Structure 1
């Protein structure tokens, strides 16, 4: 059983026949999750504004393989979502596509907890200068009833901080101006983005994909918080509908030299 609150598993998928899956299959695979987990827990999550997990599908170019990543943000989610997904049968059906999917490999990418992440980033000796956000699946932010399709630093950190403060069983960052202070202490270095809508239930959500680099200023406390939350993005995802396959994010960091 998987019991660490911050856990990421990765399933390598193979499809029978000529069918191909795109990133939007995340919404179909979300249905697989809902079918397998305890119905009472699924109903409970539907009443909550923020989900205690994220998941997305991406194509690993290096290994030429289709990968499905699922991450938990709490011990309960690790036990009730990741454990049954880890124990999926070797093959399962995607009913909407009428296709059989084979699990070719299962990997535990990361297992950690909030105390460890907090001590590593807030209490450790390393500080970071650049944060490279790689948005692997379409990412967007719901703001004022509409979707924002540019990776504004304030919206990124607002999304991450909301998840962190809700699910962390360690340090919380509850200063009312925390996001504003973070944004004041960083600036955009480079970006390479393209519009990439996400198909969901016969609608297309306007969104972006690509890379986005933030450069941190000299305030050491803000640098550490910014790096910690950037690391957390790999579990929580960024922006809207991360439980349905959007906002899948990986992050690279460069140390201050």
Structure 2
């Protein structure tokens, strides 16, 4: 935030869905810029060799890597016939949802895809609402078929937020079109994060795909 203009930082604080996510893992800081505008605003970070944080010793940057995912590539995933119908979701940083004003520390198909759909619609189409009929279709034809989760707290401004880490497997029993759509959403989710506070280090996911006959 110190590297971008103050007025843009203030604008980010007022958005319901931020155009970025970030998390730390194994000595890496991963910053996902979800719009060209945000990437341009943080371009100066790519030239940093030292990061100085308040109340923390300076951190030396050893290497910077850039990976891209375009809207065209997402569209190819949607229109291609998917060879898989099972997805392992690895929650790479503490993840949580908020529903009816309360934290939810166990994932459901509805919460996962509602979160990714909302982020996708807000950032790609500028819409804050989601297709409730489509969400119902997803909840009807996708199931969590196995899980290995454990609870873990994530501190924000000193306050612990109940969350979870681990992995789940989702199996989709619907048509190929639905499978391709969910595959696209999950791919987007590896950049956007899922659940709450993905711009502060929560909700990072990785995806493993499984063949239909496995």
TM-score range, shorter chain: over 0.9
Cα deviation for residue 75 of structure 1 reads 1.3
Q: Does the Cα contact within 8 Å between 2:81 and 2:177 map onto a contact in 1?
A: no
Map 1:187-202; keep pairs closer than 5 Å: 187-202=143-158
Distance 2:70 2:125 in 1: 9
Distance 1:134 1:58 in 2: 13
Q: Does the Cα contact within 8 Å between 2:19 and 2:38 map onto a contact in 1?
A: yes
Q: Which residue of 2 aligns with 1:124?
A: 80
Q: Which residue of 2 aligns with 1:20?
A: none
Secondary structure of 2:165's aligned partner: strand
Q: Does the Cα contact within 8 Å between 2:84 and 2:211 map onto a contact in 1?
A: yes
Q: Which residue of 1 aligns with 2:44?
A: 84
Map 1:52-67; keep pairs closer than 5 Å: 52-59=19-26, 66-67=27-28
Q: Which residue of 2 aligns with 1:185?
A: 141
Which of 90, 100, 103 is matched with 2:58 structurally? 100
Which string of whole-angstrom CA distances, capped at 9 and with x for unpartnered residues, describes residues 54-109 of structure 1? 000012xxxxxx1111101111112113x22222x21121213x21101111111x
Structure 2, unmatched stretches of 5+, are none
Which of 205, 210, 213 is matched with 1:249 structurally? 205
* 2:37 is the alignment partner of 1:70: no
Which string of whole-angstrom CA distances, capped at 9 and with x for unpartnered residues, describes residues 192-227 of structure 1? 100010011121000000111101113112111111
Give the structure-1-normalised TM-score. Answer: 0.78
Cα deviation for residue 36 of structure 1 reads 0.6
Map 1:117-156; keep pairs closer than 5 Å: 117-118=74-75, 120-156=76-112
Which of 193, 196, 200 is matched with 1:237 structurally? 193
Q: Does the Cα contact within 8 Å between 1:159 and 1:238 map onto a contact in 2?
A: yes
Q: How many equivalent pairs are there? A: 211
Distance 1:240 1:202 in 2: 16
Cα deviation for residue 169 of structure 1 reads 5.5
Structure 1, unmatched stretches of 5+, are 1-33, 60-65
Q: How much is the aligned-residue C-alpha RMSD, in angstroms? A: 1.7
Distance 2:194 2:12 in 1: 18
